[in-house]
Amino acid sequence: MQEHKIIQGTPEWHEFRSRHLNASDAPAMMGESPYKTRDELLREKSTGVAADVSEETQRRFDAGHRFEALARPLAEKIIGEELYPVTGSSDRFSASFDGMTMLGDVIFEHKTLNAALAAIAPDDQLPLHYRIQMEHQLLVSGAEKCLFMASKWDGGDQLIESRHWWYFPDLLLRESIVFGWKQLEKDAASYAPPEVRPEAVGRA
């Protein structure tokens, strides 16, 4: 994996993402994302124009980044090593890791704890869209496993609740992800934006 010294959220980071196939987009590419459809991702990849982020969505992103930073020490205790956030790539594939060990053998993925995640038992399988993102991250990093943590905090730094699961490579899922990206790039090469017809206005 090649590491890139860019900060998440900066113009340089967005430009980097526009040139790569990103882990956070992999669930949408597979048609499994609850936040973005495959058609929306296809349009973004074809036109280079991403949808505007609403104020509510931005607030959710900001809270998620804050929770992630607060949760990283908890993850370090579970893993037994320090973690550092990093952006990496392998060929066209890229990922922005919430944390990675110095040896690169373990990665960390954090989400805000919601009702759906809170209902999952420690030994149960995580929903597919999370597994797709982590499998893509393992593909990029070459790591052996991923610690998936979901946490929720109050307005300060007081932990309300946290859950964690271990995720290990699934080579069949990885094969589907690689094939899915190839198909999306094919579709993007021949993409034609849908024609927008002006709405007919009646005249009295």
141 is written with which tokens?
């990093």
The pLDDT assigned to 201 comes to 63
Query: DSSP label at 10?
Result: S
CA distances from 16 to 20, 64, 92, 133, 162 (A): 7, 21, 11, 18, 32
- Please give the Cα distance from 140 to 132 (Å, whole number): 12
Q: How many separate helices (H) and strands (E) can be counted in the chain? A: 7, 7
The pLDDT assigned to 171 comes to 97
SS3 content of the chain, % helix, strand, coil (to 5): 45, 20, 35
72 is written with which tokens?
């990283």
pLDDT in tens, the chain (204 residues): 999 999 887 889 889 998 999 999 999 999 999 999 999 999 998 887 776 666 776 677 777 789 999 999 999 999 999 999 999 999 999 999 999 999 999 999 999 999 999 999 988 999 999 999 999 999 999 999 999 999 999 988 999 999 999 999 999 999 999 999 999 999 998 887 766 566 656 565
The pLDDT assigned to 7 comes to 85
Beta bridge partners of 145: 106
The pLDDT assigned to 200 comes to 58
> 146 and 109 in contact (C-beta within 8 Å)?
yes
The pLDDT assigned to 191 comes to 80
> 76 and 121 in contact (C-beta within 8 Å)?
no
